[in-house]
Amino acid sequence: MDSPYSLFRVGASLLLHTPDPTGQTIITGANVENASYPVGTCAERVAMGTAIHLGHKLGSFKAIGVATDMDEFCSPCGMCRQFLREFLALDVPVFMFNKKGGFIVRSMGELLPLSFGPDVLPPKEQLRKNLNEEELKGAGVQ
């Protein structure tokens, strides 16, 4: 694991409720940096992107751990919180580790209160119906 620009190395691990077909129960990721700094990706999004690519989904995850080799605990950035919230139930624990193996833990919902997620969007059918009704109104049809 290399973080050539920030020298801040982060690892993320997703614990699955049940092993996948290969017997794996943990999916990992590390931050991947880029010469164009903002293009780099955090460890959490690399791990979650890998998990989703492998077919895991909301309900698959028991916990997530985020670790650095620093004295401080590493807590997911704002963008990662939103990204994770799409796939982690709000009661899923997020363990944040420091280099000594000490940790603090908060639930996904605690890290992102009053969050916006797929469950907040009305069903597609409802959205389509609203759109249709508005179009009909705009066209002067009652």
Task: Give the separation between CA 105 and CA 62, rounded to whole angstroms.
Answer: 13
Q: How far is the CB of 132 from ligand THU (least distance, A)?
A: 42
Q: How far is the CB of 56 from ligand THU (least distance, A)?
A: 20
Task: Give the separation between CA 89 and CA 63, rounded to whole angstroms.
Answer: 10
Nearer to ligand THU, 21 or 101 (CB): 101
Ramachandran region, residue 101 (left: φ > 0; alpha: ψ -120 to 50; beta: rest): left
Phi/psi at 93 (5° precision): -75, 140
Q: How far is the CB of 137 from ligand THU (least distance, A)?
A: 46
Nearer to ligand THU, 77 or 136 (CB): 77
Residue 44 bears catalytic tag: yes
Is the CA virtual torsion 39, 44, 45, 47 positive or negative? positive
Catalytic residue, chosen from 44, 72, 110, 135, is: 44
Positions touching ligand THU (CB under 6 A) are 3, 6, 8, 10, 31, 33, 40, 42-44, 66, 74, 76-77, 80
Q: Just list the catalytic residues.
A: 44
